[in-house]
């Protein structure tokens, strides 16, 4: 048989390598920024079009490349940064694999211009899908400009796989932040679709953080400083009271390289033990300096993971350094974290205007009419719930649970009796048909058996449909705030909120002004407590950033989902009887009561048959 093994041509090998190095425009941003830093630049500009899908360009004033180096830089395993394997353990550079430019050139149109300081003219090279299209002598400033256009032009599957511009831009900005935070002594600028989004002058670390995340950040930072033989820690953690629901602002650098480490993240979280509200995450901006011999950054192609020789010591040192700082800056636990949910206003009443209690005297009171009267009252009061309850049965019956039949099939005398009482009760008195279990589930008797509802998911569904309706018919009622509410966000969060302004207004929000870092709100949707507004918007921003937009992605839908998630009653909240009933009724008035907005089961049923089976023995 003929030989079948072939060596892959270079451009194919490069495309495959590109799959590991370049997942999205942000990966290109990372590689190009890192190359600029390695080249010793102190001014770096990043230019983006269409979230990087059309263009990612990095211009630096670093040392540039000679003609030969310019051409060689696109070869695979071409690097100036290591010569042998030992060099891997003394790395002071970001790159070392010599793969980035070769990979990027395999899947995009690349234009390189570069000049070294002592040369009069520089080199321009154009490469498209690994093919060198042209190489010229050009007049260009000292340093390097790499423009990467039409990413994945020759791999449509990957291009289609890219997310919306909002999501991709978020990744690009994240990457930009990571690099900029690790290098405050370099000035960075980011231009997105022609406008300047960030301009970060050379500064100290604290100023760099503030320049990126907004002036409000300054007061939130607690310095952390620790210098030991094995490890130097410097940076800041966020004060616990500013902890966020999302993990957004968590930055961890090892020898100026952004690193993800669940283990060390845990060390930080544990230093905050008892200081954070549940479900919130502290921000941190921490730099660790360790001997390059004690780490291995070679384990991951995108170089964001790292192996430490002695993780346990690092863990302990990090934890105690942060604890120490928090203690020193007098950040003591706040007392009211564990609120008793029973003391909260039930969600149903939060919407209601407060009413002064009043005494009513019924002058026509006739004790002999009592019975009739109270019966009439009961009927009037129960009218609406009864109607909705009927609809609940309709929905369930359509699933083939015809209860009448179920009960006629019951064979044993004693059970027959129970069954008839059960039905009677259901028809006559509905006040005792719900029961709350573990502040989590609402149990309700229905004709065919019982219904178990997840209160959090069910309420999400109800709110979601409400919000969606408001967004569609654009008739939401807004509740005027006595004093305008000023909320602080980072400039890029403001951009997102601004994009959603129209939709937010359709839910009932009223915005009076947008500034770079603040937004003033004068009205909120009816039923939304003022205290929740910042959490809702924060959650919304993070949802927009992380949403995987499918074909029917719409801002309105996302907004409705996000607000429903923020506002739904939580597991653990105890509900009054009438709240429980209200929840059940509202759920079954929904278009899709069976699932939460994120497609999770909202209720399960158990028929009497199924219960009977459990009692067979």
Interface with Mg ion, residue 35, by CB under 5 A = yes
Which partner from the list ligand ADP, Mg ion, none does 187 bind, CB cut-off 5 to 8 Å by kind?
none
Maximum C-alpha span of the chain: 111
What is d(CA 318, CA 264) in angstroms, rounded to the nearest whole number? 8
148 binds, among ligand ADP, Mg ion, none (CB under 5 to 8 A by kind): none
Q: Give me the residue whose beta carbon is nearest to ligand ADP.
A: 95
The DSSP symbol for 217 reads G
Q: Does 144 bind ligand ADP (CB under 6 A)?
A: yes
For residues 3-42, which are near ligand ADP according to CB under 6 A?
31, 35-36, 39
Number of residues that bind Mg ion (CB under 5 A): 3
Q: Does 44 bind Mg ion (CB under 5 A)?
A: no
Question: Beta strand 250-254 with 284-289: parallel, antiparallel or unpaired?
Answer: parallel
| Span from 96-104, 316-324, 326-334, 481-489 in contact with ligand ADP (CB under 6 A) | 96-104
96 binds, among ligand ADP, Mg ion, none (CB under 5 to 8 A by kind): ligand ADP
Nearest-angstrom CA–CA distance, 61 and 45: 9
SS3 at position 444: strand
d(CA 143, CA 63): 5
Q: Which of 98, 395, 484, 529 is the binder for ligand ADP (CB under 6 A)?
A: 98
Binding window for ligand ADP (CB under 6 A); candidates: 92-100, 305-313, 418-426, 443-451: 92-100
- 97 to 136: interface string for Mg ion, x by CB under 5 A: ---x------------------------------------
- Residues 400-419 contacting ligand ADP, CB under 6 A: none
Q: How many residues appear in the chain?
A: 617
User: For ligand ADP, which is the closer residue by CB, 70 or 396?
Assistant: 70
- The least CB distance from residue 87 to Mg ion, in Å, is 15
The residue within the footprint of Mg ion, chosen from 25, 52, 64, 95 (CB under 5 A), is: 95
d(CA 576, CA 560): 26
Q: How many CB atoms lie within 10 A of CB 513?
A: 11
The two beta strands, 478-488 and 510-514, are: unpaired
60 is an interface residue for ligand ADP by CB under 6 A = yes
Q: Report the nearest approach of ligand ADP to the CB of residue 272 (Å).
A: 37
Closest CA to 347 of 141, 526, 189, 615: 526
Distance separating alpha carbons of residues 228 and 157, to the nearest angstrom: 50
CB contact at 8 A, 268 and 224: no
Binding ligand ADP by CB under 6 A: which of 46, 101, 209, 288? Answer: 101
Cα 565 to Cα 453, 461, 473, 535, distances in angstroms = 17, 9, 21, 11
Element (H, E) at 112: strand 109-115
Q: Interface with Mg ion by CB under 5 A: which residues?
A: 35, 95, 100
Q: Interface with ligand ADP by CB under 6 A: which residues?
A: 31, 35-36, 39, 60, 62-65, 73, 78-81, 95-102, 144
């Amino acid at each position: 048989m003929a030989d079948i093994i072939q060596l892959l041509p270079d451009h194919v090998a490069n495309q495959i390598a590109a799959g590991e190095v370049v997942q999205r425009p942000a990966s290109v941003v990372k590689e190009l920024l890192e190359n600029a830093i390695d080249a010793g630049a102190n001014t770096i500009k990043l230019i983006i079009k269409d979230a990087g899908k059309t263009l990612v360009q990095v211009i630096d004033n670093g040392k540039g490349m000679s003609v030969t180096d310019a051409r060689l830089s696109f070869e695979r395993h071409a690097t100036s940064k290591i010569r042998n394997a030992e060099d891997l353990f003394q790395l002071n550079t970001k790159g070392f694999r010599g793969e980035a430019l070769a990979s990027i050139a395999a899947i995009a149109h690349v234009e390189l211009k570069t000049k070294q300081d002592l040369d009069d003219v520089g080199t321009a090279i154009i490469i498209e899908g690994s093919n060198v299209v042209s190489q010229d002598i050009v007049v260009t400033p000292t340093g390097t400009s790499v423009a990467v256009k039409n990413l994945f032009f020759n791999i449509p599957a990957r291009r289609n796989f890219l997310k919306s511009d909002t999501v991709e831009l978020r990744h690009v900005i994240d990457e930009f932040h990571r690099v900029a935070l690790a290098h405050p002594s370099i000035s960075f600028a980011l231009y997105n679709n022609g406008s300047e989004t960030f301009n970060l002058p050379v500064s100290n670390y604290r100023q760099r953080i503030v320049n990126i995340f907004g002036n409000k950040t300054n007061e939130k930072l607690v310095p952390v400083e620790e210098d030991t033989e094995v490890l130097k820690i410097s940076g800041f953690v966020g004060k616990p009271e500013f902890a966020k629901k999302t993990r957004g602002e968590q930055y961890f650098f090892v020898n100026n390289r952004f690193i993800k480490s669940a283990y060390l993240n845990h060390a930080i979280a544990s230093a905050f033990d008892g200081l954070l509200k549940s479900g919130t995450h502290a921000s941190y901006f921490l730099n660790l300096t360790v001997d390059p011999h004690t780490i291995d950054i070679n384990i991951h192609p995108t170089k964001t993971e790292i192996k430490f020789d002695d993780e346990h010591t690092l863990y302990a040192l990090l934890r105690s350094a942060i604890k120490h700082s928090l203690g020193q800056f007098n950040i003591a636990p706040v007392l009211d974290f564990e609120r008793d949910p029973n003391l909260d206003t039930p969600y149903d009443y939060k919407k209601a205007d407060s009413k002064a209690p009043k005494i009513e005297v019924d002058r026509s009171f006739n004790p002999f009419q009592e019975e009739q009267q109270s019966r009439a009252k009961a009927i009037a009061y129960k009218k609406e719930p009864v109607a909705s309850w009927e609809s609940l049965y309709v929905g369930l019956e359509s699933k083939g649970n015809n209860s009448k039949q179920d009960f006629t099939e019951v064979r044993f005398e004693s059970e027959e009796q129970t069954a008839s009482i059960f039905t009677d009760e259901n028809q006559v008195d509905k006040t005792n048909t719900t029961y709350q279990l573990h502040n989590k589930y609402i149990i309700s008797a229905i004709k065919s058996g019982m219904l178990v509802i997840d209160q959090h998911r069910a309420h999400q569904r109800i709110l979601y449909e409400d919000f969606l309706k408001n967004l569609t018919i654009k008739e939401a009622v807004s509740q005027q705030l006595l004093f305008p509410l000023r909320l602080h966000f980072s400039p890029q969060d403001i951009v997102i909120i601004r994009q959603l302004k129209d939709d937010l207004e359709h839910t009932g929000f009223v915005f009076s002004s947008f500034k770079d870092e603040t937004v003033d709100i004068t009205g909120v949707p009816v039923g939304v407590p003022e205290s929740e507004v910042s959490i809702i918007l924060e959650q919304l921003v993070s949802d927009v950033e992380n949403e995987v937009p499918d074909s029917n992605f719409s801002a309105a839908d996302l907004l409705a989902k996000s607000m429903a998630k923020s506002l739904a009653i939580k597991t653990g909240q105890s509900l009054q009887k009438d709240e429980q009933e209200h929840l059940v009724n509202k759920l079954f008035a929904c278009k899709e009561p069976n699932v939460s907005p994120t497609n999770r089961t909202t209720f399960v049923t158990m028929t009497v048959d199924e219960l009977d089976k459990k009692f067979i023995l």
